Structure formats: structure tokens, C-alpha cells
Amino acid sequence: MSKAYICDGIRTPIGRYGGALASVRTDDLATIPITELINRNLSVDWAKLDEVVLGCANQAGEDNRNVARMAVLLSGLPVSVAGITVNRLCASGMDAVGQAARAIECGAADLMIAGGVESMSRSPFVMAKATAAYDRNAEIYDSTIGWRFVNKKIASQYGIDSMPETAENLAAERGISREDQDAYAFRSQQRTEAARALLAEEIVPVTLPSKRGEPQVVAQDEHPRETTLEDLARLKAPFRDGGSITAGNASGVNDGACALLIASEAAVKSYGLKPIAKIMGMASAGVPPRIMGIGPVPASQKLLSRLGHSLADMDLIEINEAFAAQVLAVTRELGLKDDDPRVNPNGGAIALGHPLGMSGARLVLSAALQLKRSGGRHALCTLCVGVGQGVSLMLEGV
């Protein structure tokens, strides 16, 4: 069985909702990191690229009709290169990476681009068709995030808790205090600020045309913000009476795209590529939707058991920070300390933001680069997923 190697990777800065990247169409946003990979890897015969696999959670707006294929065409890749878009909500980008690795491992491909894209700023409102002639009622939803066109059977059997409500459920059931959540969120902001120079290694600047004057260049993540524990403590918890989930201890609503070049051993040799990390495997698991945030626990346990490893073997753990309460529920159940230095050493989504389809790919890219910098051996990347799932992926340094 061939091994799958990450040989390069890049991402856009992460934009705030309605921020610097809001003017960029989703399909154009997806194109940016792919084009950068093409420009950085001149030895590759791109006509031999087997597939582009992109994760995207929305797919109701400019990302409709297979945004991965749109990105292939817009990036200048040969028209013969295929593209497929996958959707596992928050884990879509990681699933794209895992699917590309599996194709290489089973001999169905040698060279893949995998990643993810999301423009939550540009997510459209969606409306159902009328169910009767001349019906004057309209069912309309904001597709940015959350449930829409709900099946009544799902609602009655599992509930349709919003994402913040699922975090409130975990906080209440696991006894996770507001103080601990704010302390975790503050560490995320601090670590991100300290790692700005390292994070710059992941980023391709985005140049935006200006109606007046010079083009605007977006080169840094927009979402990190200066804060204090006192500032965080003053924020309201709007999702539940007596609740603890706030804008300060939750991830953001954001825009961004990421792409990784993944190759077999044969492709590495053929094109003179330099592997950064090896993909060891991926696993997923289901959990009750009302506590979807605990999903990384069974997914990680399944993956590590399958690969014959334990958390003690991990030099690095990248977990998507959907909510501080959710991360703490996961780390505590896995037996990790709240401030374990292996967990998100360069900050996470509370500080950086969470463009849904991109985030999983960003975690893998960040982990691969951090393993290379530190000389670490193993990394675990994991996310929770709306509607009750978790996905985990393991890397090995090379």
C-alpha cells in the first residue's frame, strides 16, 4: 500500500464576517491557494493531477454546482483535471484530505490537491418552493450556519439544538464553568498572537482591487483580537438563561480557503517533491446531535486504536475550537489537562475563526508545519461536527 505525503500547503488569511474577504466570491476564494500551489511547484506536470477534493459546508450560493470543479477551471489547471466537493459540515476540509490520502493509499491516485473553502459572509438566504398554488407563506432561512428545512422526525427524536446550545448542553452536563471557558479562550488569543510569525508561513496574501488608489493586500488573519479575562467575563451569554457560552469563548463566523498537495511515494520521486508529513489515517464517529461537540473523543479513540497508538504518543494535538466548553469537554474526557502545551500551541479557532469547510484542512496544514518545525513525530487533528459527529486524522513527521 502506498503512503500519502503532504508535500506543500497554503491558505488564505481568515477573514471576519463581512470583513476584508467578504467581497471575494466563494469559487474565486477557493482558487487562491490552488493557484499558489501551482506557482510554487513548477516541477509538477499538472496534467497528471488526479483530482481536486475540496470541502465546503454551505453549497447554496456561489459554491453551488461543485465548487471544487469551479476552482479547477478558474485556477488554470488543465481542463482534464477532475474536481469533487465533499460536505461533512465543519469537518469537510479534513474529510477532503482524508479522502485524497485514501485514494493514494489504495493505488487509485498518485497526486491530489485537497482542502476546503467557506465564505460565510456570502452565504445566501434560501427559500423553499410553495407547497400549494397561490400560497402566501414563505419559508426562508439564513444559510450561514445551522439547521434549515428541518425534518420533523429528526426534531422529535433528536432535537434541533443550535450549535451554541449544544455547547451549553456540554457545559451543564460536564460541569464546565464560565471561568474555565474564558481562561481557555484567553489562552487561545494569547497563543495566536505569540505565533503570528509562524502563522504567516501558512498564508498567501490576497490582493483585492480597489476602486480608488492602490489594491488592498490582506496578509494577516482578521479575527484575532486583543482582550483580557476581565473583558471576556463582561460578555453576555445570550443563548440560555444562566448560560456560559459567549462570543468571546466561541469560534467566529468567517471566510477562508486552504489547499494541500498530497502525493504518493512515486509522485514524490517523479516530481522531486519534499514531504512535510505523512498521513497515517482518518476515522469518524457519531454522537448524539445535542452534544455534537464531544465527537472528537470517539473519533480519536477509534483512530488511535486502529493505528496502535495512544494520546501519549502525540507530540501535537490540533483540535478545532468550536467552543471553549466543547474543547474542554473533549480534553477532559481524554485525560488531558486544560492547558496541555501540546493542544493548539499556536492558538485555535476561538482566536483565528472558523470558516466551516476550510477549518479541517487548516488544522492539518498547521499540524504538518508544526511537526516539521519542532521535529515532532506524531500529530492528531480532530473536529466536532454538527448533527453529531467527530472526525480525527493522524500525521507522522518525515
Cα 372 to Cα 76, 93, 114, 183, 278, distances in angstroms: 30, 21, 20, 29, 11
d(Cα 326, Cα 288) in Å, to the nearest integer? 14
- For the question of residue 384 being annotated catalytic, the response is yes
Which 3 state secondary structure label does DSSP give 315?
Answer: coil
C-alpha cell at 361: 484542512
**DSSP result, 1-69:** ---EEEEEEEEPPPEETTSTTTTS-HHHHHHHHHHHHHHH-TTS-GGG--EEEEE-S--SSTTTTTHHH
Alpha helices in 159-282 (DSSP H): 163-174, 178-194, 196-200, 229-234, 265-271
Catalytic residue among 7, 56, 381, 384: 384
d(Cα 214, Cα 217) in Å, to the nearest integer? 9
Catalytic residue among 56, 90, 258, 381: 90
C-alpha cell at 359: 477549518
Helices first, then strands: H and E counts in the chain = 13, 14
Catalytic residue among 7, 354, 378, 381: 354
Task: Give catalytic residues, as residue numbers.
Answer: 90, 354, 384
